[in-house]
Structure 1
Amino acid sequence: MKKLIFEKKLNILEQKSRQAEKEFPLKSNKEPKNIYSIEKNNLFFKMRSLRYLLQTDKSSNLLRYFLKSPLKHSKNLFISYLNKKSYIQENDFLLFNFGSLEEFKKELLNKNNLFLYGFSYCHKPKECPKDRFSSFCEYFENSPICNQCMFGKIKNSIHEDDIFTPIKDVNFIANKILELKKTNRNREVIFILTACNLSIKMFSDLANMLNLRGLSIQLRGRTCINFNSFLLSERFEKKNLTSLSDESINFLFETLKIRHNVLINGLRA
């Protein structure tokens, strides 16, 4: 019976979503035109990204973590800078410190791992009943907006042993991972993030420097095309919408299903 819990829950959420779409279709349900980053991932961009990350790290958590093992972290950063790409890419999936998507999927079967699902705020619906531009998400069960929102679906599907959070800026997620590593010393924290290609590039060298493991999923639609548009989005000046491909959405729910079956039943999906 336990194995049916996730499927039943997901079916109920989908039924609610379809009904809500009939009653109150969201603007964000329309497929936006895909726009891609024009920034070249060269050394200048990497250095500019690092400077921005350090300047905006108001709590200095990243710097303090770096200083715990400066030689090791410097070596990791240098190696990441030498690589043309700081990640392995399979379609919209960008892997950090994993050799392949299949290798990543194997870690879903480890009950001791802690998976952090982080979603960029820019694919929250414009009609969000709470603050769209924040790391906060409150699901209202009878809200037609929440019932269509991907954030609401994930929040209601994730197992309680894993964590979901909206991402308000590029620094937030790195600090969140370090915070979880500190409070969960006996568990490996592995991230699954959604972000625009530009944000992923900015985060990539930092992830390698700190030897963080995980996967980022590229958003589609009206994403940041250059550093200036990225800075505007960091200040929450982003009216445009982004979305996930069907392949990415199916992958996300497949990971949630696997985690449920492993954490509840101790079984593979």
Structure 2
Amino acid sequence: MKDCEAIIKRLKKRQQEDEKKLRILFEITRMVSSFPHVSNFLDAIVRFLARECTFDACAILLCDTDGNLKLMSKTGISDEFVERAVNSPIVRQCMHDCLVKREIIVKNDFVSEERTPSMKTEQLESFAVSPIMAEEETMGVLITASRKKGYFHERYFAAFFIVVNQVGMAIKIAQLYDKIFYFSQNLEKIVNEKALQLAEAHKKLMRAERHAIIGKMADRVAHDLRNSLTVIGGFAHRLEKKIPETDPNYRYVKIILDETSRLEQKVARIIDMK
């Protein structure tokens, strides 16, 4: 009877763990649509995992283009602690083993010499480093820590490995969204710049067309004006020959000839400019 009760108790606990795992997986999937940008998504993930899994600390570090791990988001720990912990030999070794072996590395009980001063200050007794992967690509690590010794039991491995893989896929989707988002923003900027350039070119073309029309009109007017001036000048020359210099009107004929000649020169310059 006691054996049956123990079995039922274990099954119920396993069922609760499975339900919790499914709830976490569902929530991670939901967050992808709620927080499409990588930075917002990572902040939401670390807060959610710390709350749901009762971690005292949680942090995500992703590999940069040079392959170095860079802190992207954290909760439950200070910046000073993160800097010291990440640079401590024990944590660095765990992260290296995690990335190389692609498996969860757990430290459930520190001996006194392994614990860094910052870990003692934060009173962290155990931590786990999990590889964040997507499509066979190792993207970074998820560090979770507890103030309890032996917090990360065997069942944690199988369940949390699935969770971390889901986190990796979600990060991948968020990164793709960011690429598309920033590409579309850049494309929109380029389109706007091209539209402005096109509008400016159109204005220049319109001005050039107006100038061309004005030039044609000026040329036509200049030719007509030159013809009229030729007629006026011809008649003025005839009058000049018939009127003696002593005639009072002779002076006016000379003015007509001079002004006609001056206008003919100006019209000639206008025609030469076309």
Q: TM-score, normalised by structure 1?
A: 0.22
More contact order relative to length (CA 8 Å, sep ≥ 6)? 1
Q: TM-score, normalised by structure 2?
A: 0.22
Structure label with greater radius of gyration: 2
